[in-house]
Structure 1
Amino acid sequence: MLDRTTCYENLEQPQKRGHATEELLRAAFALRDIPVLVPTSGNEPYDLVVDVGGRFHRIQCKTAYRKTAGTVAFETVGTRRRGDGYDRAGSDGRVEYFAVYDPLNDNQYLVPVADAANGKMEIRFRKPENDRRAGINSADDYLLEERLDDLRQPRSG
């Protein structure tokens, strides 16, 4: 039986990987009894909306890829097809969270847009050899299961 990493590698088109990621993340929320809403068109800046305690959260789904030893990365900009090509735009103000699937480690992450770097974000799943901690985004801080409480918190402001 093929593992998920191999299955993802066999999906040669990025759009197919993206669709697989969206389905896996949708299922991850559903398994936790969190209702998931899906836009009727592909032109929204978000891929899904979750309803937690009567509050809605817009989420953009991303597939992580191997960056360096011990890290994965994902793009923090969205790409939308337009009649004259593609539009790449940041997500700030258009979504609240990135839900990220990491096929390398079979992990799901929930990253607030406010925490994400502009353009690309790296997540470290293994401690660095030099034990450096400054500027490191630890996988443990963003695991989906651990971050669900964030969705339940009242919004400030």
Structure 2
Amino acid sequence: MLDRTTCYENLEEPQKRGQATEAIIQSAFVLRDVPVLVPTYGTDAYDLVVEVGGRFHRLECKTAYRSSESTVAFETVSSCHRRDDYGQRGYSGRAAYFAVYDPVNDNRYLIPVSEVTGDMMELRFRASAASHRTGLDRVEEYLLGDQLEDLRRS
């Protein structure tokens, strides 16, 4: 039987990995009795909208990948393709949270866009010699269930 990471790697098209991640994230919210709205068109700067505590939150779904033996990472920018322009754009003001699926550890994270700096975010899931590096956040800080409880209380 294939493990999750291998299943993701076997999806050759990035769009299929993205679709799988969105489905996994969506089901994680539904299982926690959180209403999920899906935009009709794929042109918005967010993938899902969830209603928590009577408020709506725009989510951008991302797939984490192993970046070292003790960390996973995900991209925090989108690539913009226009006729004669190519660039990257952040999500500040366009989405409130990154909803991240980590197939390496089978975890789901909810990370405020406002806490992200740079073009990628790296999350540490195990202590290592590089644990002292700045810019590494512990995965426990962003687990979906805990973040949802915080949102419900605020």
Compute the TM-score of the two structures, normalised by the length of structure 1.
Answer: 0.89
1:137 paired residue number? 137
User: TM-score scaled to structure 2, two decimals?
Assistant: 0.91
Counterpart Cα distance in 2 of 1:98 and 1:130:
25
Q: Distance in 1 between matches of 2:85 and 2:36?
A: 30
Residue correspondence of structure 1 range 39-118 to structure 2 within 5 A: 39-79=39-79, 82=82, 88-118=88-118
Deviations along 1:3-58, whole A, 9 cap, x unmatched? 21111011011111011000000000000000000000000000000011210000
Q: Secondary structure at the match of 1:126?
A: coil
> In structure 2, do the counterparts of structure 1 residues 70 and 119 end up closer, same or farther at CA, with 3 Å as the change threshold?
same
Give matches, 1:113-124, under 5 Å: 113-124=113-124
Gaps in structure 2 of 5+ consecutive residues: none
One-letter amino acid of the counterpart of residue 103, structure 2: P
Structure 1 range deviating more: 72-81 or 126-135? 126-135
Per-residue CA deviations over 1:79-120 (Å, capped at 9, x if unaligned) read: 355566765310001111000001111111110011112210
Q: Which runs of 5+ in 1 are unaligned?
A: none
Task: Flag the 1:153–1:114 CA change in 2: closer, same or farther, 3 A.
Answer: farther
Counting aligned pairs with the same residue, the percent is: 59
Q: Give the aligned residue type for 1:112.
A: P
Specify the SS of the correspondent of 1:12: coil
Residue 69 of structure 1, CA deviation: 1.6
Q: What SS does the aligned partner of 1:137 have?
A: strand
Amino acid at match of 1:6: T
Aligned to 1:3: 3
Q: 1:55 to 1:32 in 2, by over 3 A?
A: same
Whether the 8 Å CA contact 2:122–2:135 is kept in 1: the answer is no
